[in-house]
Structure 1
Amino acid sequence: MEVVFTFDVKDYQKRDLQTKFPQVMFHFNKKPQDAEVETATVIVTYGGDIDAALLERTAVLEWLMIASAGVEKMPLAEIAERGIRMTNVRGIHKVPMAESVLAHILALRRSLPLIYERQQVKEWNRKVGSTELRGSTALILGPGAIGSEIGRLLQAFGVRTIGCNRSGKKCESMDEVIIFDDLLDRLGEADYVISVLPSTPETKEMLLEEHFKAMKETVVFMNFGRGDLVKESVLLNALKNDEIGHAVLDVFETEPLPQENEFWTLPNCTVSPHVSSLSGKYVERALVIFESNLERWLQGVKALENIVDGGKGY
């Protein structure tokens, strides 16, 4: 059995895999055009290099291990037609992403950007307009593993948390959970609207002009899920017309964000270049899930952890 990684891992991680699974032939840091892909039973990838042409070259591929959460750019129809299993690393992003969200919220609440700016010009000015988190409300779109961790941290600061998902099913660290259909009526309660939703047919352009008009003028909108949640023009208008107070954006319709894009220069927008999930522990955590699933696979257990439903996109 051959396992191909289309990215590289550290030498000690390679040795650990080879020691734990001596019956497996591992190939690391291979490109889609490399011959090893053609005989791989398992491909471990970030997902962006998997296309229909690569699938046509694989003879015995049975499992795609996606070392990220999103699969929207992959050839899902072809994967389903071939009966190839997909798993991802859902859950490993929750710590760095939740910490990133909290860091941005605290920075804005405690006026850190203004303090840093004044330091550059050596201005001693104690009028900074800082406020507290306690007593505020956060509405979290997608209260799954990541959203629940965001909620847990915010609750520690005395923030009321409202989760919003398709089913309305109760979620950890949410004081209340509402369904998507009720979102418009509840947006006006939130001081923070935080999205960690994946990209699916249901969530694409889910937020419309009317949603931003329903938000508080002081709200901070944060998108840490996928850039197609809202049309760029709608969000730009909301920011330029002061319909919302601030936006913190980690994801965009086009990435890298073009230099001429207005988001870069708007004073009430923070551009984060899709870095909220980055952590020195990312690959380490991904390999824990992969190793657990590989053990099951070798034992003939097909009920793997983090199975991805290609139809749903997550």
Structure 2
Amino acid sequence: MIYFTFDPRPDLKEDLLKSFPNEEFVFSRTVENTDLARAEIIVTYGEDLTEAHIATAKNLQWIMVASAGIEKMPNAAIAARGIPVTNVRGIHKVPMAESVLMHILAHYHSLPQIYQYETKHEWKRNLKQRELFGSTAVILGPGAIGGEIGRLLKGFNVTTIGCNRSGRDAAYMDKMVRFDELTSVLPAADIVVSVLPDTEETKHLMTAQHFDAMKDTALFMNFGRGSLVETNVLIEALTENKIGAAVCDVFETEPLPVDSPLWDLPNMTVSPHVSSHSSRYLERSFAIFKPNLEKWRSGNHEELENFVDLTLGY
């Protein structure tokens, strides 16, 4: 039995049932132990499973996560059982890259100010507008999402510098550095974008020293996980004008507390963790799940797409 801990759109469910007429599917908005005990495969967003659920799911053989992040899952309990986990890595690259580019262009061409003037019926032309053309961007995590951001930035003649733990080459990056070399490239960066996952290695990777190394006009963007930088470090960088501005879609505490100073900082844009949202999200997720299910039923378990290394967190 294949157990969904969420209820997909009717058209997607219908397509799934037609594609796999011999499978038993259970769709639920909550995790029910009765059904869970029978489940061979669980499809989840990765935020609703506990160690107790894994213990109850005696027949569980594979977990499909309809998300890229797995940091909220009981990974130790899953690993102890040797249960393989796959995710939908790569489906976020289009909406997230578009969102990042939107915020960059809005910042460079003063769209927030234009909108403010419009609401006041004010015809003002004293706007600080710059070209993105010819700038330099450092992209932390140049995988599927970071690579797509790099591809789009290339259309604006932006020099791209990728940063990951190994320093290995990545698509659409003009140069690559390791995490421990990040400080060396930050002085050249006009834009710093992180799409890194939440792992032991990336937790608080960005420090005050990194912001000290950046241009005071630089745009910092965090679209990966809020654990990348301590909140007080980001606030200090903005209030002391170590950088020009920041746009964050993720935060250490979510929802962002109503009394957080970040809401009111003039050089800060708060985005409520929506950059990956898309009307095609589940459509793309199922496009990965369906071929994987066919491989699973054919016995080709090792050929599943997007295996997750629970020890690394991605």
TM-score by length of 2: 0.98
The one-letter code matched in structure 2 to 1:305 is E
Q: Which residue of 1 aligns with 2:5?
A: 6
Q: Give the counterpart letter for 1:152 in structure 2.
A: R
* Partner residue, 1:152: 151
Q: Deviations over 1:219-258 (max 9, x none)?
A: 0000000000011111110101000110100000111111
Contact 1:143 1:171 (C-alpha < 8 Å) held by counterparts? yes
Q: Does the CA contact (< 8 Å) of 1:4 and 1:27 recur in 2?
A: yes
The residue type equivalent to 1:183 in the other structure is L
Three-state SS of the structure 1 residue aligned to 2:37 is helix
CA distance in 1, matches of 2:49, 2:219: 36
8 A contact 2:33–2:53 mirrored in 1:
no
User: Aligned-pair distance for 1:30?
Assistant: 4.2
Q: Are 2:312 and 1:312 aligned?
A: yes
Once residues 126 and 239 of structure 2 are traced to their aligned partners in structure 1, the CA distance between those partners, rounded to angstroms, is 25
Name the amino acid aligned to 1:274: H
**Identical aligned residues as a percent:** 55
Residue 112 of structure 1 corresponds to which residue in structure 2?
111
Alignment of 1:193-212 (within 5 A): 193-212=192-211
What does the per-residue CA deviation read over 1:37-57, in whole Å, with 9 as the maximum and x for residues that have no partner?
Answer: 110001100000011011111
- Please tell me whether residue 80 in structure 1 is matched to residue 79 in structure 2: yes
Q: SS of 2:103's equivalent?
A: helix
**Amino acid of the structure 2 residue aligned with 1:25:** E
1:254-293 equivalences in 2 (<5 Å):
254-293=253-292
> How many positions carry a matched residue from both structures?
313
Distance 1:21 1:33 in 2: 23
What is the CA–CA distance in structure 2 between the aligned matches of 1:11 and 1:186, rounded to whole Å?
A: 49
Residue-by-residue CA offset, 1:170-199 (whole Å, 9 max, x unaligned): 111111111111101111110000000001
Unaligned runs of 5+ in 1: none
Write out aligned runs for 1:104-143 (5 A).
104-143=103-142
User: 2: CA distance between counterparts of 1:128 and 1:119?
Assistant: 13
Q: How large is the RMSD of aligned CA atoms in angstroms?
A: 0.8
SS at match of 1:39: coil
Counterpart-to-counterpart distance in 2, 1:236 and 1:155: 31
Match in the other structure for 1:166? 165
SS in 2 for 1:18: helix
Amino acid at match of 2:182: L
User: Is 2:97 aligned against 1:93?
Assistant: no
Q: CA deviation at 1:34?
A: 4.4
How far apart, CA to CA, are the structure 2 residues paired with 1:199 and 1:183? 18
* Alignment correspondent of 2:102: 103
**Which amino acid in 2 is paired with 1:197?**
L
Please say if 1:37 is aligned against 2:42. no
Distance of 1:100 and 1:188 partners within structure 2: 25
Structure 1 stretches of at least 4 aligned residues deviating more than 3 Å after TM superposition: none
- Return the alpha-carbon distance in structure 1 between the equivalents of residues 259 and 72 of structure 2: 25
C-alpha separation in 2, matches of 1:76 and 1:14 = 28
Task: State the distance in 1 between where 2:28 and 2:133 align.
Answer: 47
Any conservation in 1 of the 2:33–2:56 contact (CA below 8 Å)?
no
Asked if 1 retains the 8 angstrom alpha-carbon contact of 2:189 and 2:214, the reply is yes
Which residue of 2 is the match for residue 59 of structure 1?
A: 58
1:46 aligned partner: 45
